Chain A
Amino acid sequence: MTRRSWIGWQFVAPFLTVFALVFLAPIAYSLYLSLYRTKLIGGTSFVGLENYSKAVEDPQFWSAVGRVSLFLVVQVPIMLLLALLIALAIDSGRLYGSSFFRISIFLPYAVPAVVATLMWGFMYGSQFGLIRYLNDWLGTTLPDPLAPNLVLAAIGNITTWEFVGYNMIILFAALRIVDPSLYEAAAIDGAGQFRIIRAIKLPALRGPLLITTMFSIIGSFQLFTEPVVLKTIAPNAILTYFTPNYYAWQLSVGGQQFNYSATVAVVMGLLTMLVAYLVQARAVRKAV
């Protein structure tokens, strides 16, 4: 911290200009839209909070929220637990070729969600999928992952595949900067691997785990690309209100209901922020 002057504004201004344009303005415009309603006859009129009460009673909206909440509660813990176990395994120094493991498991992060979903979707699928061949070989009838009742789990697997390595790298990075003298002290005390994990490594991971949890919560609530792409493979399993984002998109593009679409986006943004904030409040308290 060196200069007390207005010169800092010159550095921050370009970012803030874009920030105003693609963050503040869209939010303000959506709030404005959400207070109006457009009818074919009678034009646009101010309706107060009517769109919000409509959303509160909208079963399709809540069905979408319920779906992403279920996704959040099941997929996020599985993914983060896997990421944690791999990070601990690689950090233990007991793996042959540990850097190969680290890089390879991270690689799916570089794959676009479109491609990830298409790959898994084709592998799941009945046309040239692997499930069909497994059934042929084993004489089984495995359930179709793209059936309506399983498609959410199928998406959970895709997002786990995409992000487990990313989360693992963040956790692993935190383990790398643990003070080595702690391990020496533990060795003198004769502590075993599991005791070291519990007493030294897990406490060091608390901050990074909160951050990865926050990003995962946001990702779950905002789920969009995977279901949209999967719909081109399994059109009957994905409903137009599959996730809140999907629903808002359908309302605006498919239904021309811009006011209600804006309302759904606002409510979902608030819900996401609320849940993320509750987690983030603990993680970022010390930042400024």
Chain B
Amino acid sequence: MVSAPTIRPQARRKAQPPATPRKRTKSWSLTAITTVMLIYTLLPLAWLFISATKTQDNLLGSFGLWFHGDFALFDNIGRTFTYQNGIYLRWLGNTVFYVVIGAGGATLLSTLAGYGLAKFAFPGRRAVFALILGAVAVPPTALAIPTFLLFAKAGITDTVWAVIIPSLMVPFSLYLMWTFSRDAVPDEILESARVDGAGEFRIFFKLAVPLLSPGLVTALLFNVVVTWNNLFLPLIMLKDRNLFPITLGIYTWNQQAQTVGGDVVFNLVITGSLLAIVPLIAAFLLLQRYWQSGLAVGSVKQ
């Protein structure tokens, strides 16, 4: 590729020169054209919110992009949490559990490994590298069916492990943490800590992790999104409704409408969907500073 400008993560967070000089006059026509894209982006989300305020009957009988009848949002939320003995809350709890263990574990493992690959010249390092770079090209979904077949043979499908174990490996997150470790953790600091007699893991947790925090937050956020949003893995692995994450639960509620005699609960599908996206959207909005700089480093610096 064309020589990508190399920058240190901590350096670029401080001073971001405006890419094109900021004194440019603003353009109404360009703003208007880009607004078309903005409307396209926000329209479905507006539809989701408006629809979540309608009762099942009004949902079917009114225009989707405007409010109609009673404002039933809170009623819908209440019914979402109590429908089928409150299973939604259980699904929400499962998702949080899978995210904490799966995405948290994935971030920890890839930070350790990324740091190890960046800071130690151990025998076999190049082979490990080649293996993992090759794995980045193999998407998790391509592995889902083979993993299912293996787990079925081992008899651990339909357990929480079937969802958690595959979530623990995210090659891209390792790649991100390798880049960060290489650039944000100066060798001199590590050397002087070693001279002082500190152990390697102590150095890692006390010195490296704080320096790696922008990258860590980025990797964690994206691992959380992948785990929170995953449907394929739980869909093929789980049969027990009590183990479902929220995505799979919403999917089965919607499926009820297709089954003969199934309870049609589109209003709960919609309200459940709205509730499921609020935490992640909030996380992205609150952590903007981190993931934007983190993504820049991870994706641009090849």
State the A residues within 8 Å of B (CB): 1-12, 14-16, 18-19, 21-23, 25-27, 29-30, 33, 82, 86, 89-97, 101, 103-116, 118-120, 122-123, 127-130, 133, 161, 164-165, 169-170, 173-180, 183, 187, 196, 203-204, 206-208, 210-211, 214, 218-219, 221-222, 224-225, 228-229, 232-233, 235, 245, 248-249, 252-253, 258, 261-262, 264-266, 268-269, 272-273, 276-277, 280, 282-288
Contacts and interface: CB of A to CB of B under 8 A. Distances in A.
A15 B302 contact: no
A269 B34 contact: no
Considering the complex of A and B, which 4 residue pairs feature the smallest CB-CB distances, nearest first? A11-B116, A8-B120, A8-B122, A173-B296
Interface residues of B, number: 120
A26 B117 contact: no
Given A22-B166, A277-B137, 16 more contacts: A4-B121, A8-B122, A10-B201, A15-B169, A29-B149, A112-B247, A133-B64, A169-B292, A183-B21, A207-B1, A210-B1, A232-B255, A232-B257, A235-B258, A269-B142, A283-B302
A127 to B, nearest CB: 6
Contacts of A108: 41, 44-45
Given A18-B109, A206-B1, A115 B142 contact: no
B143 interface: yes
B148 A252 contact: yes
28 contacts: A4-B120, A4-B122, A7-B122, A12-B112, A25-B150, A29-B150, A93-B20, A101-B34, A107-B42, A110-B284, A115-B48, A115-B273, A119-B45, A127-B60, A130-B47, A130-B64, A161-B44, A173-B292, A174-B4, A177-B12, A203-B2, A207-B4, A210-B1, A224-B141, A249-B145, A272-B138, A287-B302, A288-B126
B13 to A, nearest CB: 12
A5 B138 contact: no
B25 A94 contact: yes
A19 B132 contact: yes
Given A15-B110, A115-B276, A174-B299, A107 B19 contact: no
Contacts of A129: 64
Contact of A2 (B187, B255, B300): B187
Interface string B132-144: 1101011101111
A249 to B, nearest CB: 6
A74 B239 CA distance: 36
B225 interface: yes
B180 interface: no
A11 B1 contact: no
Contacts of A26: 143, 146-147, 149-150
A249 B60 CA distance: 33
A203 B2 CA distance: 7
A89 B133 contact: no
A12 B116 contact: yes
B229 interface: yes
A261 B145 contact: yes
A175 B64 CA distance: 38
Interface in B6-62: 7, 12, 16-22, 24-28, 30-31, 33-34, 37-38, 40-42, 44-45, 47-48, 51, 59-62
A288 B284 CA distance: 31
Nearest to B246: A112
A268 B292 CA distance: 33
B75 interface: no
Contact of B60 (A94, A128, A258): A128
A273 B138 contact: yes
Given A33-B149, A115-B273, A262-B146, A232 B168 contact: no
A195 to B, nearest CB: 13
A51 B187 CA distance: 53
Contact of A14 (B109, B117, B152, B270): B109
B277 interface: yes
Given A29-B153, A94-B26, A3 B41 contact: no
B149 A272 contact: no
Interface stretch (B83-91, B209-217, B230-238): B230-238
Given A29-B153, A30-B146, A101-B38, A222 B141 contact: yes
A43 to B, nearest CB: 16
B231 A262 contact: no
